[in-house]
Homo-oligomer: A and B are copies of this chain.
Amino acid sequence: MKHDSLTVQVSRGGVVESEHNIKAVIVSSTGEVVESWGDVASLVYPRSAIKAMQALAFIEMGGAQKFAFNDQEVAICCASHGGEPKHVATVQSMLDKLSLSESDFECGCHWPMRAEASYELAGKGEIPNQLHNNCSGKHAGMLGLAKLLGTSPRGYIEVDHPVQQKISATMAQMCEYDYDNAHWSPDGCSAPTWAMPLTNLALAFAKFSSPDELAPARQKACKTLYDAVVQHPFMVAGTERYCTDMMTTLQQRAFLKLGAEGVYVAAIPELKLGIALKCDDGAIRAAESAMTALLDHVGITSFVPDKEMSRYRSVTLKNWQKRITGAITCDI
Protein backbone atom coordinates (compact mmCIF):
# COMPACT_ATOMS: atom_id res chain seq x y z
CA MET A 1 0.00 0.00 0.00
CA LYS A 2 1.34 3.38 -1.06
CA HIS A 3 0.25 6.58 0.66
CA ASP A 4 1.13 10.26 0.52
CA SER A 5 3.80 11.52 2.90
CA LEU A 6 2.96 11.54 6.58
CA THR A 7 2.44 14.90 8.27
CA VAL A 8 3.68 15.92 11.71
CA GLN A 9 1.94 18.96 13.16
CA VAL A 10 3.32 21.34 15.75
CA SER A 11 0.47 23.32 17.27
CA ARG A 12 0.30 26.38 19.52
CA GLY A 13 -2.80 28.06 20.93
CA GLY A 14 -5.17 26.15 18.64
CA VAL A 15 -3.21 26.95 15.46
CA VAL A 16 -0.84 24.66 13.53
CA GLU A 17 2.39 26.64 13.84
CA SER A 18 4.74 24.35 11.90
CA GLU A 19 4.38 21.21 9.82
CA HIS A 20 6.77 18.47 8.71
CA ASN A 21 6.54 15.94 5.88
CA ILE A 22 7.81 12.42 6.39
CA LYS A 23 8.68 9.64 3.96
CA ALA A 24 8.39 6.22 5.55
CA VAL A 25 8.47 2.58 4.54
CA ILE A 26 7.81 -0.75 6.24
CA VAL A 27 9.64 -3.75 4.77
CA SER A 28 9.41 -7.43 5.70
CA SER A 29 12.48 -9.58 6.34
CA THR A 30 11.75 -11.37 3.04
CA GLY A 31 12.14 -8.05 1.22
CA GLU A 32 8.49 -7.20 0.61
CA VAL A 33 7.46 -3.53 0.86
CA VAL A 34 4.49 -3.82 3.22
CA GLU A 35 3.46 -0.16 3.24
CA SER A 36 4.96 3.18 2.26
CA TRP A 37 4.33 6.92 2.60
CA GLY A 38 5.80 9.41 0.11
CA ASP A 39 8.61 8.84 -2.39
CA VAL A 40 10.63 6.13 -0.69
CA ALA A 41 12.75 5.48 -3.80
CA SER A 42 14.49 8.84 -3.40
CA LEU A 43 18.04 8.90 -2.02
CA VAL A 44 18.59 9.36 1.70
CA TYR A 45 21.79 9.50 3.71
CA PRO A 46 21.10 7.18 6.66
CA ARG A 47 23.63 9.02 8.81
CA SER A 48 23.77 7.60 12.36
CA ALA A 49 20.67 5.45 11.83
CA ILE A 50 22.89 2.86 10.16
CA LYS A 51 25.42 2.50 13.00
CA ALA A 52 24.34 -1.07 13.83
CA MET A 53 25.23 -2.02 10.23
CA GLN A 54 28.57 -0.26 10.56
CA ALA A 55 29.26 -2.34 13.68
CA LEU A 56 28.22 -5.61 12.06
CA ALA A 57 31.56 -6.56 10.44
CA PHE A 58 33.43 -6.08 13.73
CA ILE A 59 31.00 -8.27 15.68
CA GLU A 60 30.74 -10.87 12.90
CA MET A 61 34.54 -11.27 12.88
CA GLY A 62 34.49 -12.00 16.60
CA GLY A 63 35.65 -8.59 17.79
CA ALA A 64 33.56 -8.58 20.96
CA GLN A 65 35.06 -11.89 22.11
CA LYS A 66 38.60 -11.05 21.06
CA PHE A 67 38.65 -7.77 22.99
CA ALA A 68 36.29 -8.92 25.76
CA PHE A 69 33.76 -6.16 25.09
CA ASN A 70 30.75 -6.52 27.39
CA ASP A 71 27.15 -5.96 26.25
CA GLN A 72 27.19 -2.26 27.13
CA GLU A 73 30.34 -1.84 25.04
CA VAL A 74 28.76 -3.70 22.13
CA ALA A 75 25.65 -1.51 22.43
CA ILE A 76 27.61 1.76 22.38
CA CYS A 77 29.14 0.75 19.01
CA CYS A 78 25.65 1.60 17.64
CA ALA A 79 25.27 4.85 19.60
CA SER A 80 24.74 8.55 19.11
CA HIS A 81 25.30 9.03 22.81
CA GLY A 82 24.86 12.08 24.98
CA GLY A 83 28.45 12.29 26.16
CA GLU A 84 27.28 11.57 29.70
CA PRO A 85 29.85 10.28 32.20
CA LYS A 86 28.71 6.64 31.78
CA HIS A 87 29.08 6.86 28.00
CA VAL A 88 32.54 8.35 28.23
CA ALA A 89 33.67 5.74 30.77
CA THR A 90 32.34 2.93 28.58
CA VAL A 91 34.24 4.12 25.52
CA GLN A 92 37.41 4.65 27.58
CA SER A 93 37.14 1.03 28.73
CA MET A 94 36.93 -0.08 25.08
CA LEU A 95 40.04 1.91 24.20
CA ASP A 96 41.85 0.32 27.15
CA LYS A 97 40.87 -3.14 25.95
CA LEU A 98 42.12 -2.24 22.46
CA SER A 99 45.39 -0.85 23.91
CA LEU A 100 44.64 2.40 22.13
CA SER A 101 43.98 5.94 23.32
CA GLU A 102 41.72 8.91 22.66
CA SER A 103 44.27 10.37 20.24
CA ASP A 104 43.73 7.38 17.92
CA PHE A 105 40.19 8.60 17.27
CA GLU A 106 39.56 10.62 14.11
CA CYS A 107 35.97 11.66 14.88
CA GLY A 108 36.72 15.17 16.18
CA CYS A 109 35.60 16.88 19.38
CA HIS A 110 32.32 18.46 20.32
CA TRP A 111 30.63 19.38 23.57
CA PRO A 112 28.40 16.55 24.86
CA MET A 113 25.11 16.28 22.97
CA ARG A 114 23.30 16.36 26.33
CA ALA A 115 23.54 20.00 27.42
CA GLU A 116 23.57 19.14 31.13
CA ALA A 117 26.62 16.93 30.58
CA SER A 118 28.35 19.90 28.94
CA TYR A 119 27.59 22.20 31.87
CA GLU A 120 28.88 19.54 34.26
CA LEU A 121 32.10 19.25 32.26
CA ALA A 122 32.54 23.02 32.06
CA GLY A 123 31.83 23.25 35.78
CA LYS A 124 34.85 21.05 36.40
CA GLY A 125 36.96 23.40 34.28
CA GLU A 126 37.25 20.77 31.55
CA ILE A 127 36.73 20.86 27.80
CA PRO A 128 35.50 17.95 25.70
CA ASN A 129 37.77 15.48 23.94
CA GLN A 130 36.96 12.92 21.25
CA LEU A 131 35.48 10.52 23.83
CA HIS A 132 32.58 12.98 24.21
CA ASN A 133 31.81 12.87 20.48
CA ASN A 134 28.40 11.20 20.16
CA CYS A 135 29.96 8.72 17.68
CA SER A 136 32.93 7.69 19.87
CA GLY A 137 31.49 4.23 20.52
CA LYS A 138 31.14 3.59 16.78
CA HIS A 139 34.71 4.75 16.29
CA ALA A 140 35.95 2.42 19.03
CA GLY A 141 34.35 -0.40 17.02
CA MET A 142 36.08 0.85 13.87
CA LEU A 143 39.45 0.91 15.64
CA GLY A 144 38.74 -2.63 16.81
CA LEU A 145 37.98 -3.65 13.23
CA ALA A 146 41.34 -2.22 12.10
CA LYS A 147 43.02 -4.47 14.66
CA LEU A 148 41.01 -7.50 13.54
CA LEU A 149 42.01 -6.77 9.93
CA GLY A 150 45.65 -6.47 10.99
CA THR A 151 45.92 -3.00 9.46
CA SER A 152 47.07 0.35 10.85
CA PRO A 153 44.15 2.27 12.31
CA ARG A 154 45.55 5.56 10.98
CA GLY A 155 43.15 7.05 8.44
CA TYR A 156 40.44 4.52 9.36
CA ILE A 157 37.75 7.11 8.53
CA GLU A 158 38.83 7.38 4.88
CA VAL A 159 36.56 5.75 2.31
CA ASP A 160 39.41 3.67 0.79
CA HIS A 161 40.83 2.43 4.13
CA PRO A 162 40.42 -1.34 4.67
CA VAL A 163 38.13 -0.59 7.66
CA GLN A 164 35.62 1.38 5.58
CA GLN A 165 35.98 -1.03 2.66
CA LYS A 166 35.01 -3.92 4.93
CA ILE A 167 32.17 -1.97 6.53
CA SER A 168 30.74 -0.77 3.22
CA ALA A 169 30.88 -4.28 1.70
CA THR A 170 28.89 -5.60 4.69
CA MET A 171 26.39 -2.75 4.54
CA ALA A 172 25.96 -3.16 0.77
CA GLN A 173 24.96 -6.80 1.38
CA MET A 174 22.53 -5.93 4.16
CA CYS A 175 20.97 -3.04 2.18
CA GLU A 176 21.20 -4.91 -1.15
CA TYR A 177 22.48 -1.71 -2.73
CA ASP A 178 25.43 -1.02 -5.03
CA TYR A 179 27.70 1.08 -2.83
CA ASP A 180 30.42 1.19 -5.49
CA ASN A 181 28.29 3.54 -7.56
CA ALA A 182 26.54 5.34 -4.71
CA HIS A 183 26.91 8.97 -3.63
CA TRP A 184 28.79 9.29 -0.39
CA SER A 185 29.97 12.08 1.89
CA PRO A 186 31.92 12.42 5.10
CA ASP A 187 29.46 12.25 8.00
CA GLY A 188 29.60 14.57 11.02
CA CYS A 189 32.22 12.25 12.55
CA SER A 190 34.19 12.06 9.23
CA ALA A 191 33.38 8.38 8.53
CA PRO A 192 31.66 7.99 5.16
CA THR A 193 27.87 7.87 4.82
CA TRP A 194 26.38 6.47 1.59
CA ALA A 195 23.12 7.66 0.07
CA MET A 196 20.54 5.00 -0.80
CA PRO A 197 16.78 4.68 -1.29
CA LEU A 198 14.86 4.65 2.00
CA THR A 199 13.45 1.21 1.09
CA ASN A 200 16.95 -0.30 1.06
CA LEU A 201 17.61 1.13 4.51
CA ALA A 202 14.39 -0.41 5.83
CA LEU A 203 15.30 -3.72 4.17
CA ALA A 204 18.59 -3.88 6.07
CA PHE A 205 16.77 -3.46 9.38
CA ALA A 206 14.06 -5.95 8.39
CA LYS A 207 16.82 -8.54 7.84
CA PHE A 208 18.46 -7.41 11.08
CA SER A 209 15.17 -8.02 12.92
CA SER A 210 14.87 -11.56 11.62
CA PRO A 211 18.25 -12.70 10.29
CA ASP A 212 17.46 -16.42 9.85
CA GLU A 213 18.19 -16.36 6.11
CA LEU A 214 21.65 -14.83 6.58
CA ALA A 215 24.95 -16.73 6.92
CA PRO A 216 25.41 -18.19 10.44
CA ALA A 217 28.10 -15.72 11.59
CA ARG A 218 26.00 -12.76 10.43
CA GLN A 219 22.85 -14.17 12.02
CA LYS A 220 24.69 -14.40 15.29
CA ALA A 221 26.17 -10.93 14.95
CA CYS A 222 22.74 -9.39 14.26
CA LYS A 223 21.33 -11.07 17.36
CA THR A 224 24.31 -10.01 19.47
CA LEU A 225 23.89 -6.37 18.45
CA TYR A 226 20.09 -6.42 18.79
CA ASP A 227 20.22 -7.94 22.26
CA ALA A 228 22.97 -5.62 23.49
CA VAL A 229 21.11 -2.50 22.36
CA VAL A 230 17.63 -3.40 23.59
CA GLN A 231 19.04 -4.56 26.93
CA HIS A 232 21.11 -1.37 27.35
CA PRO A 233 19.16 1.36 25.60
CA PHE A 234 20.85 4.03 27.72
CA MET A 235 24.08 3.29 25.89
CA VAL A 236 22.83 4.22 22.39
CA ALA A 237 21.40 7.64 23.34
CA GLY A 238 21.00 8.67 27.00
CA THR A 239 18.94 10.70 29.43
CA GLU A 240 15.69 12.13 28.04
CA ARG A 241 16.32 10.75 24.57
CA TYR A 242 13.63 9.14 22.42
CA CYS A 243 15.69 6.08 21.37
CA THR A 244 16.45 5.22 24.99
CA ASP A 245 13.00 6.01 26.38
CA MET A 246 10.96 4.28 23.67
CA MET A 247 13.17 1.17 23.66
CA THR A 248 12.73 1.03 27.45
CA THR A 249 8.96 1.34 27.04
CA LEU A 250 8.88 -1.40 24.39
CA GLN A 251 10.73 -3.87 26.65
CA GLN A 252 13.09 -5.34 24.05
CA ARG A 253 10.42 -5.69 21.36
CA ALA A 254 12.12 -3.18 19.01
CA PHE A 255 15.51 -1.76 18.13
CA LEU A 256 15.34 1.99 17.36
CA LYS A 257 17.99 4.34 16.06
CA LEU A 258 18.06 8.01 15.14
CA GLY A 259 20.13 9.53 12.33
CA ALA A 260 20.96 13.19 11.74
CA GLU A 261 18.65 15.19 9.44
CA GLY A 262 15.54 13.42 10.64
CA VAL A 263 16.23 9.76 9.83
CA TYR A 264 14.89 6.94 12.02
CA VAL A 265 15.00 3.17 11.74
CA ALA A 266 13.32 0.35 13.65
CA ALA A 267 13.80 -3.42 13.68
CA ILE A 268 10.96 -5.47 15.15
CA PRO A 269 11.74 -9.23 15.50
CA GLU A 270 8.30 -10.50 16.52
CA LEU A 271 6.78 -8.92 13.39
CA LYS A 272 9.85 -9.59 11.19
CA LEU A 273 9.70 -5.96 10.03
CA GLY A 274 12.08 -3.11 9.39
CA ILE A 275 10.96 0.53 9.30
CA ALA A 276 12.86 3.50 7.91
CA LEU A 277 11.71 7.10 7.75
CA LYS A 278 13.12 10.49 6.80
CA CYS A 279 11.76 13.90 7.68
CA ASP A 280 12.10 15.95 4.48
CA ASP A 281 13.34 19.01 6.34
CA GLY A 282 15.66 17.14 8.71
CA ALA A 283 13.78 17.76 11.98
CA ILE A 284 14.40 15.21 14.71
CA ARG A 285 11.25 16.18 16.66
CA ALA A 286 9.18 15.18 13.64
CA ALA A 287 11.06 11.95 12.99
CA GLU A 288 10.38 10.88 16.58
CA SER A 289 6.68 11.74 16.36
CA ALA A 290 6.32 9.81 13.10
CA MET A 291 8.17 6.81 14.53
CA THR A 292 5.67 6.66 17.39
CA ALA A 293 2.80 6.72 14.90
CA LEU A 294 4.41 3.91 12.86
CA LEU A 295 5.09 1.77 15.95
CA ASP A 296 1.42 2.19 16.87
CA HIS A 297 0.41 1.44 13.28
CA VAL A 298 2.20 -1.93 13.15
CA GLY A 299 0.74 -2.84 16.54
CA ILE A 300 3.94 -3.33 18.53
CA THR A 301 2.85 -0.79 21.17
CA SER A 302 -0.49 -2.48 21.88
CA PHE A 303 0.73 -3.99 25.15
CA VAL A 304 1.79 -0.57 26.51
CA PRO A 305 -0.83 1.23 28.64
CA ASP A 306 -2.26 4.32 26.86
CA LYS A 307 -1.21 6.37 29.86
CA GLU A 308 2.42 5.56 29.15
CA MET A 309 2.15 5.96 25.36
CA SER A 310 0.34 9.30 25.51
CA ARG A 311 3.49 11.32 26.19
CA TYR A 312 4.93 10.00 22.91
CA ARG A 313 1.71 10.30 20.90
CA SER A 314 1.22 13.95 21.79
CA VAL A 315 4.48 15.55 22.88
CA THR A 316 3.60 18.46 25.17
CA LEU A 317 5.55 21.66 24.51
CA LYS A 318 6.23 23.88 27.51
CA ASN A 319 7.87 27.27 27.81
CA TRP A 320 10.54 28.51 30.24
CA GLN A 321 7.90 29.03 32.93
CA LYS A 322 6.67 25.44 32.35
CA ARG A 323 3.40 26.69 30.87
CA ILE A 324 1.96 24.37 28.23
CA THR A 325 2.19 26.08 24.84
CA GLY A 326 1.47 23.36 22.31
CA ALA A 327 1.94 19.81 21.12
CA ILE A 328 3.61 17.68 18.45
CA THR A 329 1.43 14.99 16.88
CA CYS A 330 1.36 12.64 13.89
CA ASP A 331 -1.74 10.82 12.70
CA ILE A 332 -1.61 7.92 10.26
Contacts and interface: CB of A to CB of B under 8 A. Distances in A.
Interface of A: 10, 12-15, 17-20, 43-45, 106-111, 115, 118-120, 122-123, 125, 133, 183-190, 193, 195, 261-262, 279-283, 286, 319-323, 325-326
A32 B15 CA distance: 27
Nearest to A118: B119
A31 B119 CA distance: 48
Contacts of A279: 18
By CB atoms of chain B within 10 A, which of A10, A19, A106, A319 has the most?
Answer: A319
A195 B13 contact: yes
Contact of A12 (B19, B45, B281): B45
B108 A45 contact: no
Contact of A45 (B17, B111, B115, B323): B17
A280 B19 contact: yes
Contact of A17 (B13, B110, B282): B282
Given A122-B123, A123-B125, A125-B123, A18 B262 contact: yes
Given A45-B13, A119-B119, A183-B14, A323 B190 contact: yes
A115 B113 CA distance: 12
Contact of A281 (B19, B119, B185): B19
A184 B13 contact: yes
A270 B240 CA distance: 49
A320 B115 contact: no
A17 to B, nearest CB: 5
A15 B120 CA distance: 38
A127 to B, nearest CB: 8
28 contacts: A13-B45, A13-B183, A15-B43, A15-B183, A18-B262, A18-B281, A19-B280, A106-B321, A108-B319, A108-B320, A108-B321, A108-B322, A110-B320, A111-B115, A111-B119, A118-B119, A119-B119, A119-B122, A120-B122, A123-B123, A133-B320, A185-B326, A187-B319, A188-B320, A190-B321, A190-B323, A281-B283, A281-B286
